[in-house]
Structure 1
């Protein structure tokens, strides 16, 4: 995730870190090059390279903008929902700290909180494709077994154990929601339709501008391509909130925050270092 202050107006035009320009510049150059070829061909071979009526381009551009906005909104909702579920993971882990104060100085509390630390890091690696689903489930099941054993031994009342199981249930529900987001992308047919329409529109756009704008047509076509391809690329990044891309969620920082909170509650001093942004990117 990009962590940086809002740049100045001049700085906006020179920032590349976290910008989709690094992804879409080949498409922009292709559209710009086609625009130059159309302008030159129209000037030298007007009988063969003719301009088109710009009116349909305006209508198609409006429709395409609306479709791209809908897709971006849907992808941002996925990103924000993922952030909310990780918020629940952090909150529920801290709830367990307060709910286990009656077990203070007992080995069951240390075992329970350490199982949640393991759970948090396994969820991180699972969502990034570096561990299996069953491992995080097993860590959470281990926490439930510890609570059940403490209840059977009389160290927890039935009500206290029930409250802890409710917190573990919230952790399980948030994990399932994150798995759903990770394993169910935006329907491919919808994305494919927008990809095709955006490419076709931007490729033929110089033909609609060449009569009215002349030599400026390639520049305008390039700017339109930047907007459309940029929105498309940004939506693709937001669609995958758990990836390693720069605009994805900082799962390592979230899992480390949980670990620090739980270890501090146990009085441990060997706390991990909270990850910091490197080149404005927090992982």
Structure 2
């Protein structure tokens, strides 16, 4: 995710970090050269293109703008819902850890081990969920938080994040059987575990349910078609500035299309995707602090205005 102060009006035109321009500049150049060719032909051969009225082009542009607006809204809704779910994960993780430290007696060795065990599993869950959503290997990052007796079970599980929640639930049940927590406290702790499971399910739903392909295809085809015919429709009225107008409109429509495609997949590593690494590191720092650890990992900092 791009994090930076709003640049002043002049610098705004020269910023590439976080812009979709690197993704679409080839398309813009093609439309610009097409516009230049059409304008040149119109200049030397004035009757080569009929004098079209710009009304159909304007109506076509309005319709395309509505399509792109609907798609951008749908993509942003997915992005924002994903961000809210990770916000809920922060709340559930902190609340569960705080209650574990408050309600389980840490003065006994049994209670202290249970506290450390559960909180480290919560940390491992946040990292495991991030790696699951990004299709990467979580073990180099979470192995230090997993007891050796549990690693075989976790490595054999189909869903690592779900298996970690299962271990947390089992440990809380063991604490109840050993009279470390009461029935009421167990129910409260279990509610937070359920909230973490809800976050996992919501993120999986977002990841596994993309925007309808036919809708995306329709919008992209319409954008390409509009930008291709635009120079022919405006050359009679705009003349030699046709390439300029064509480039600006192509940047707008192709840029909206590319941006909505990025936002529709919020868990990736593109410039405008969610900073899941930073969020999971925040959970890790907070929970280790709750546990009383002194050597805390450093927060993830933005590199060149980009936070991952």
Question: 2:114 aligned with 1:113, yes or no?
Answer: no
TM-score, normalised relative to structure 1: 0.97
Alignment partner, residue 300 of structure 2: 275
Q: Deviation at 1:48? A: 3.8
**Cα displacement string for residues 148-198 of structure 1 (whole angstroms, at most 9, x for unaligned residues):** 110111111011011011000000001100011111111010000000000
1:196-207 equivalences under 5 Å are 196-207=221-232
Alignment partner, residue 193 of structure 1: 218
Question: 2:208 aligned with 1:183, yes or no?
Answer: yes
Distance in 1, Cα, partners of 2:291 & 2:84? 26
Of residues 247, 250, 264 in structure 1, which corresponds to 2:289? 264
Alignment partner, residue 40 of structure 1: 40
Distance in 2, Cα, partners of 1:52 & 1:118? 64
**Cα displacement string for residues 41-92 of structure 1 (whole angstroms, at most 9, x for unaligned residues):** 2233444444432110000100100110110011000000000000000000
> What is the Cα-based RMSD across aligned positions, in Å?
1.2
Alignment partner, residue 7 of structure 1: 7
Of residues 153, 170, 175 in structure 1, which corresponds to 2:178? 153
Alignment partner, residue 168 of structure 1: 193
Q: Deviation at 1:247? A: 0.4
Q: Deviation at 1:243? A: 0.5
Distance in 2, Cα, partners of 1:39 & 1:50? 13
Alignment partner, residue 76 of structure 1: 76
CA contact (8 A) 2:43 2:240 kept: no
Distance in 2, Cα, partners of 1:104 & 1:182? 40
**Cα displacement string for residues 91-135 of structure 1 (whole angstroms, at most 9, x for unaligned residues):** 000101221112252211110000001100000101111158611
Question: 2:61 aligned with 1:86, yes or no?
Answer: no
* Change in CA separation of 1:137 and 1:44 when aligned onto 2, cut-off 3 Å: same
Indicate the larger mover: 42-51 or 86-95: 42-51
1:47-58 equivalences under 5 Å are 47-58=47-58
Runs (4+) off by over 4 Å: none
TM-score, normalised relative to structure 2: 0.90
Distance in 2, Cα, partners of 1:278 & 1:133? 34
Partner SS state of residue 159, structure 2: helix
Alignment partner, residue 59 of structure 1: 59
Alignment partner, residue 109 of structure 2: none
Query: Which runs of 5 or more structure 1 residues have no equivalent in the other structure?
Result: none
Alignment partner, residue 150 of structure 2: none
Alignment partner, residue 126 of structure 1: 132
Q: Deviation at 1:277? A: 0.2
